Amino acid sequence: MLSETFAFGDSAIHRLDPRLRVVFAGLLSILTAILNRFPAVIFAVFLALVLIGASRLPVRQVLARLAVVNGLVLFIWLILPWTFEGTPVVEIGPLVGSWEGIRLCALITLKSNAIILALIALVATMPVATLGYALHHLHLPDKLVYLLLMTYRYIFVIETEYQQLARAARIRCFKPGTNLHTYKTYAYMVGMLFVRASARAQRVHQAMVCRGFSGKFYCLHEFAFKSSDWAWSSAMGISLIVLGGLEWAPIV
Amino acid sequence: MGADRLVIDLENISFAYPDGRDVLSGLSFKLDKGARAGLIGPNGSGKTTLLHMIMGLIPPSEGAIRLFGREMRSEKDFHESRKNIGLVFQNPDDQLFSPTVLEDVAFGPLNLGASPEEARDIAVKTLKDLHLTGFEDRISYRLSGGEKKLVALATVLAMNPAVLVMDEPTTGLDEKTNDRIVSILNTLDKTLLIVSHEYNFLARTTDDFYGIRDGQIFYAGESATLHTHYHAHAAGEVPHKHI
């Protein structure tokens, strides 16, 4: 369900302080999302590609993940150019494609790919648990951090329970079809999953209480900011400034 | 035996499920310091309910719970007593909620006020004592059923409780893990209360055993007399004594 294929490695990016990676990924994504000029957006894509290169992830698998995002982007290309008001450039029957629509589509495509690539390089390269502790050290509220960590822990248990239910149905010759029986069966399964998840949440809480839990979480993990982290953070800072400059510097 | 030797003292406990079904009715039970007791009873007879009551997870509808000679009245009382009574849940997936083994074992000591370094040391040592060295950074959900059970036991032992309470510790375990748990329990100098359906397991880990029936607990004899029957036997279905 969650394979964390990219989480373990020994590249320069994998060795970076997770806090730095999370902060930079956040800033870069936000900045990229509000860009409007092509040189800036292209620079953002370039930055993302540099990060992917430095993380030494298998290209094929990264492309496979990009395909998912670009599947959605494809729908934007199918709709937006024909519905966006502006200077007409193409005409197919009653459909008129506008220059502004095409420009917007291109921007969205580049931006979303840049953000996803940056997140893959910076955030997918750490285990979910590490991400949780990094967020904890960045002073995200405890409740949110532990919500993330426990979701991660129990998503596998819930998946196993779903598999059990699905198997139980299959061994009694259940074949999904387009009929009320199928809908009902799936509704029961989902309902049963909710019931089990809530019962489990209660038992987990009881087990925690038995071990002295009183609402406060403690974190075992400490991160150390190394000299290489300082070098990377300056490079990251400069690249963000360049990105901002490309977007907001007055055109001469 | 003086009252100060009593670690668990339940008096006239009653409890009914929300649907009105009585589980425990007027139950009384005493456990001395250092005792090793087993508890046997049919499914739904209230064994788990009883354990949860001792831990303060569910309040009895009637009766008094005294632990270590103190009457338990509020959640605050139980918060204190839980430092000395550890419960190992039936399903280790309920107990192990942290991403890694080390964090889970350190969770209890951290709650007891240990610093992160101390908690880490305690966790490492506890794992070593249970021959689980090397498990520290294992991901809890990727452990096998037997490993999960042993780690769950470690999470409770890391708090060094005086009393260890276990709910069906052997369910679904293979012979080898079963033997490991037996040998761990037999090296512990703790008061034990073990709920189990496995007569052989109780015979190897406890001194006395109790039965629970019709909402009451009764003394059923010495554990050494317990054994599983594989042959036809008039009393094969219920715990009994050979005279």
Query: Token digits for B241?
Result: 């004594």
- Are A18 and A105 contained in the same domain? yes
- Are A19 and A116 contained in the same domain? yes
pLDDT > 90? residue B172: no
**Chain B residues in contact with A129 (beta carbon < 8 A):** 99-100
Query: Tens digit of pLDDT for each residue in A40-85?
Result: 999 999 999 999 999 999 999 999 999 999 999 999 999 998 888 8
Predicted ipTM? 0.77
pLDDT > 80? residue B150: yes
Instruction: Note the pLDDT of residue A156.
Output: 84
For chain A, the domain total comes to: 2
**Residue A80: inside a domain:** yes
Quick one: pLDDT band at residue B227, thresholds 50, 70, 90? low
How many Å lie between the alpha carbon of A217 and the closest alpha carbon of chain B?
Answer: 8
**Residue A215: inside a domain:** no
**Residue A26: inside a domain:** yes
Unique residue bearing structure tokens 């064994």: B47
Write down the mean pLDDT value for chain B.
89
- Are A59 and A161 contained in the same domain? no
**Chain A residues in contact with B148 (beta carbon < 8 A):** none
Query: Tens digit of pLDDT for each residue in A230-252?
Result: 999 999 999 999 999 999 988 76
- Are A157 and A204 contained in the same domain? yes
pLDDT > 70? residue B231: no
Between B234 and A2, the more confident residue is A2
DSSP string, chain A: ----TTS---SHHHHS-HHHHHHHHHHHHHHHHH--SHHHHHHHHHHHHHHHHHHT--HHHHHHHHHHHHHHHHHHHHHHHHHS-S-EEEEETTEEEEHHHHHHHHHHHHHHHHHHHHHHHHTTTS-HHHHHHHHHHTT--HHHHHHHHHHHHHHHHHHHHHHHHHHHHHTTT----SSHHHHHHHHHHHHHHHHHHHHHHHHHHHHHHHTT--S-----------HHHHHHHHHHHHHHHHHHHHHHSPP-
Query: Token digits for A13?
Result: 């990016």
**Residue A219: inside a domain:** no
How many Å lie between the alpha carbon of B222 and the closest alpha carbon of chain A?
Answer: 29
- Are A118 and A80 contained in the same domain? yes
**Residue A5: inside a domain:** no
How many Å lie between the alpha carbon of B130 and the closest alpha carbon of chain A?
Answer: 19
- Are A57 and A141 contained in the same domain? no
Query: Tens digit of pLDDT for each residue in B107-145?
Result: 999 888 899 899 999 999 999 999 999 999 898 888 999
Instruction: Note the pLDDT of residue B233.
Output: 52
Domain of A111? Answer: 12-126+224-248
CB spacing of B112 vs A212 below 8 angstroms = yes
Nearest Cβ partner of A206 from B57, B100, B159?
B57
Chain A residues contacting B via beta carbons under 8 Å: 127-129, 132, 149-150, 152-154, 156-157, 200, 203-204, 206-214, 216, 218-220, 222
- Are A203 and A152 contained in the same domain? yes
**Residue A111: inside a domain:** yes
- Are A186 and A146 contained in the same domain? yes
CB spacing of B155 vs A211 below 8 angstroms = yes
**Percent of chain A whose pLDDT exceeds 90:** 57
Chain B residues contacting A via beta carbons under 8 Å: 52, 55, 57, 79, 82-83, 86-87, 89, 91, 93-95, 97-100, 102-103, 106-108, 110-112, 116, 119-120, 140-141, 155-156, 159
**Residue A178: inside a domain:** yes
- Are A85 and A199 contained in the same domain? no
- Are A122 and A231 contained in the same domain? yes
- Are A116 and A44 contained in the same domain? yes
**Residue A3: inside a domain:** no
Nearest Cβ partner of B55 from A132, A204, A210?
A210
- Are A122 and A145 contained in the same domain? no
